[in-house]
Every structure is written in C-alpha cells, then in structure tokens.
C-alpha cells in the first residue's frame, strides 16, 4: 500500500531509519526460540542439532518422547515421523524506541534440519507495529500469499509496507511472538504505567496499546492482577468493565479467580439477586463453582415461576376474547360409538391438546383465528385429532392427529364431522338472528 496520509508517510520514513535486526539477535533467537530435535532412522538415533548418530542401547529407549544426545548432551525431542527434511517455524520480537514511537518488530524464523547435517536458519522481519504514546497503532508488514490457507504465508521477497488501520483486526496482527529479545527498549511512559519487562503470555503490541490507552488495563497491571489482565485483553466475550466494581473487590482482597467464565457468570447472578459487589464474602468465594450452581438453580426456579405466571395471565386474557368470539358454538358435540367430536371451549385445551398431540394449535394461536372453528375429536375420551373448520364456508381446513399426521380414526372422524356440519350451520344462523333481534 502506498503511504497517503501524513502519519503513513512519517512511519514509512522512520521505518527506513531503523537499524536492521543484527546477526547477534539472530544468534540469540537460534539458541532461545527453537527446540532441539532427534529422529529414529534405520535403528539409529540422529541428533538434528549436532549431526551425531548412535545406536540405542536398550529397546525401551526407542519409544521415549525426549532423549539426550550422547555427543552434544542436548535434550532432544523425538520427531514422530522419519522424513528427509524437518522444519520448525517460530516468531520472536525485538523492541525499539524511535521518535517517541514504541516499535514492536516481529521476526519469523525458520530452522531447517536434515539427518547428518547441522541445522540451517532463515530469519526475516515480517511486521513492525508502531505505537504512539496514545496507544494508537499502525503496522508495516510484508505481503502474504492470499491464495494460501494459512494467514501468515509471507512473501519473503516483498517489502515492509504500511497497512491500513483495519490491520489490527486481522489474525496477523495478533501473532504473539514466542520470545522477546532480552536487550529490548521500551518507552518511559510504559514503565510509568506499570510495565516491568514481563508480558505474561500476551503479545507485546496488545499489552502496550492497552497500557497506553486503557486505564483499566493499567490498574490491573499495577495491582499485579495479571490473570485478570490476560482475561481482559485476550477473551473476546469478557465483561471486566461491566463488572469493575466486583473486580475492584477482588483486587482489594487479593482474590485469584480460578475460572473466569464461571466467575463472570456468577457475578451476573449476584447482580440478578441484587447482592452487594463490594462485599468480599459475595464476590470472592472459596467454593466458586458450588455457589454458582446454587444461585443458578435458585434463579432457574424463579424464572420458571415467572414464566408460568405469565403464561397463565396470557391464557386468561385470551380466554375472555375467545369466549366472546365463539360462544355460540359452545356445547356443540356429536358422537358415534366411542368417537366424540366437540367444540374446543377453553384456551387451556389448546395448550393441553397441542402438548399431547405435538402440534402447533397453541403456539400458533389458533384460538385467535376469527375465521376458524376448532374442534377436538376424542376416542374413548382421549384426544386423537384436532379439526379446523372454516367459517362461514364450513370447509374442513385441517384434521390432524399426533405429530400432524392422520390417526387410525381419521376417516371416521371426517364422516362424523360432515354428517353434523348442519349443526354448526344452525348455530351460525342463530348468531345472525340474535344480532338482528338486538338491532
């Protein structure tokens, strides 16, 4: 990307003035960021660090995870598979200060290994994060191969170029170097804000930007609540700010949170029950999981009770409307043998029949349909099918049993219904007459 804004041009110019990563730093990385490896090939151990090979003295040695080289004395990790070439890739960082910017330089290093040869290395600076004193960051990086599945398939021949602001949202920005070069330099303001040289497993660019622009992060670091800080900076769904009152109680009483997901859940429960978040007894429990489960159960019971109450109220209201609407059909019932069809008279019946036959007459509020009359067919007093008859045409819209399927009584139900449609019709007329009478 060609630098366009003043800051982009400034950073591009400043980047050109940085001294290259030195040979000494490369040697440090080769020694400090890679594992040492061994492989078992044709009955012999091969040290991929010093090229020595030797025969195992006992059979059991062959299946160990680590062995010691008999020549260089290195502790070697066993390669799982024997192949011709072996490669290990790691990231590390060098920190510079340049014109009031904190620079985090990310270097990608490759270690190539082959039996009977000394390892060879390749180092390339792939990113520079430039952070100003307000914690704003811009990145220069190499290009990557967009057709690769990996997000960090660097094009090593490409130049370091300024990237758009949105680069911070990419996984490349979040690459966390395995180690930071020991003789690195940091801005004085970072030390003032609590940085003492440790990153606690966080990427330097993430920790630095947070320390410069976020007083919450600063407080957590200064009070040595590094677990809280890590959770705050690294968990996408954390709610440290929302729970700050509770966090402060933890800081004050030196409480260590064992499981942040459970703890944040637990704090939400404390809030639900309006419990005081300044009281350590509430916020910093010894038996977090047990208390969490207990409160959870209490909340579940309350919520269930509320839902049932709400449902009961809804049904009561709906019942009044339903009665007003369909009253003239109430009491209608026709039967033949053990089969009986009756008009549904209460909304509660819609709920029960919907549950029993696993269909949606209640959920989809069929009791509210003005242009339908709902009837229930029962065999030996057990609901077998639910019927929807259109008003005023009296067409049978639906007649369904369990799971919306026809029951064994389906034909019989339809016959009984059709034989008695005239009775429904009579009630419709009656409604008309009573209306006319009222006029």
In sequence order, the 6+-apart residues with CB closer than 8 A to the CB of 290 are: none
14 binds Zn ion (CB under 5 A): no
Beta bridge partners of 54: 45
Among 1, 62, 72, 258, binds Zn ion (CB under 5 A): 72
Stretch that binds Zn ion, among 3-11, 72-80, 161-169, 373-381 (CB under 5 A): 72-80
Among 7, 18, 50, 332, binds Zn ion (CB under 5 A): 50
Instruction: For residue 187, give the DSSP letter.
Output: -
69 binds Zn ion (CB under 5 A): yes
User: Pairing mode, if any, of strands 396-400 and 382-390?
Assistant: antiparallel
Stretch that binds Zn ion, among 46-54, 80-88, 128-136, 191-199 (CB under 5 A): 46-54
Element of type H or E holding 435: helix 421-438
Shortest Å distance, C-beta 82 to Zn ion:
17
Nearer to Zn ion, 37 or 366 (CB): 37
In sequence order, the 6+-apart residues with CB closer than 8 A to the CB of 133 are: 100, 187, 189, 212
Strand ranges, E, within 293-425: 333-336, 339-343, 372-379, 382-390, 396-400
Q: What is the CA radius of gyration of the chain?
A: 37
Shortest Å distance, C-beta 31 to Zn ion:
14
Shortest Å distance, C-beta 15 to Zn ion:
40
Shortest Å distance, C-beta 57 to Zn ion:
16
Shortest Å distance, C-beta 49 to Zn ion:
5
CA quadruple 292, 297, 300, 306: dihedral positive or negative?
A: negative
Stretch that binds Zn ion, among 51-59, 147-155, 286-294, 321-329 (CB under 5 A): 51-59
39 binds Zn ion (CB under 5 A): no
Among 52, 77, 348, 409, binds Zn ion (CB under 5 A): 52
**Tokens coding 277:** 């978040």
Looking only at residues 204 through 223 of this chain, which bind Zn ion when binding is defined by CB under 5 A? Answer: none
Three-state DSSP class for 309?
A: helix
Cβ proximity of 145 and 156 under 8 Å: no
Shortest Å distance, C-beta 40 to Zn ion:
14
Looking only at residues 306 through 365 of this chain, which bind Zn ion when binding is defined by CB under 5 A? Answer: none
Task: Calculate the CA dihedral of residues 15, 16, 17, 21 and round it to 10 degrees.
Answer: 80
Stretch that binds Zn ion, among 52-60, 261-269, 299-307, 387-395 (CB under 5 A): 52-60
The binding site for Zn ion (CB under 5 A) comprises 47, 49-50, 52, 69, 71-72
């Amino acid at each position: 990307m060609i630098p366009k804004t003043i800051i982009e041009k400034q950073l591009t110019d400043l980047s050109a003035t940085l001294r290259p990563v030195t040979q000494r730093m490369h040697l440090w990385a080769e020694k400090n960021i890679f594992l040492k490896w061994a492989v078992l090939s044709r009955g012999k151990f091969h040290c991929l660090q010093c090229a020595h090979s030797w025969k195992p003295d006992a059979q059991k040695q062959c299946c160990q995870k680590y062995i010691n080289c008999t020549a260089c004395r290195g502790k070697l990790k066993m390669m799982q598979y024997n192949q011709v070439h072996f490669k290990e890739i790691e990231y590390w960082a060098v920190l510079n200060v340049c014109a009031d910017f904190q620079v985090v330089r990310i270097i990608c290093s490759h270690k190539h290994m082959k039996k009977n040869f000394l390892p060879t290395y390749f180092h390339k600076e792939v990113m520079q994060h430039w952070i100003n004193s307000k914690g704003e960051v811009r990145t220069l990086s190499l290009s990557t191969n967009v057709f690769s599945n990996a997000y960090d398939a660097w094009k090593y021949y490409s130049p370091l170029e300024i990237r758009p602001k949105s680069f911070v949202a990419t996984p490349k920005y979040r690459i966390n170097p395995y180690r930071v070069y020991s003789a690195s330099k940091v801005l004085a303001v970072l030390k003032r804000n609590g940085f003492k040289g440790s990153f606690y497993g966080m990427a330097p660019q993430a920790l630095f930007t947070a320390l410069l622009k976020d007083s919450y992060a600063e407080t957590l670091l200064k009070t040595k609540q590094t677990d809280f800080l890590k959770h705050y900076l690294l968990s996408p769904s954390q709610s440290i700010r929302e729970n700050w009152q509770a966090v402060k109680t933890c800081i004050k009483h030196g409480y260590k949170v064992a499981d942040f997901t459970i703890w944040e859940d637990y704090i939400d429960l404390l809030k639900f029950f309006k419990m005081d978040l300044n009281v350590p007894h509430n916020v910093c429990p010894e038996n977090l999981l047990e208390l969490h489960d207990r409160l959870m159960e209490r909340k579940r019971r309350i919520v269930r009770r509320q839902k049932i109450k709400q449902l009961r109220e809804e049904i009561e209201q709906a019942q009044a409307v339903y009665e007003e609407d369909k009253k003239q059909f109430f009491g209608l019932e026709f039967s033949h043998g053990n089969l009986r069809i009756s008009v549904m008279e209460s909304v509660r019946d819609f709920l029960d029949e919907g549950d029993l036959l696993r269909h949606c007459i209640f959920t989809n509020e069929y009791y509210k349909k003005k242009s339908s009359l709902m009837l229930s067919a029962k065999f030996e007093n057990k609901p077998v099918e639910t019927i929807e008859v259109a008003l005023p045409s009296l067409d049978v819209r639906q007649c369904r049993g369990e799971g919306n399927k026809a029951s064994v009584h389906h034909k019989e139900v339809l016959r009984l219904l059709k034989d008695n449609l005239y009775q429904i019709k009579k009630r419709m007329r009656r409604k008309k007459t009573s209306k006319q009478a009222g006029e």
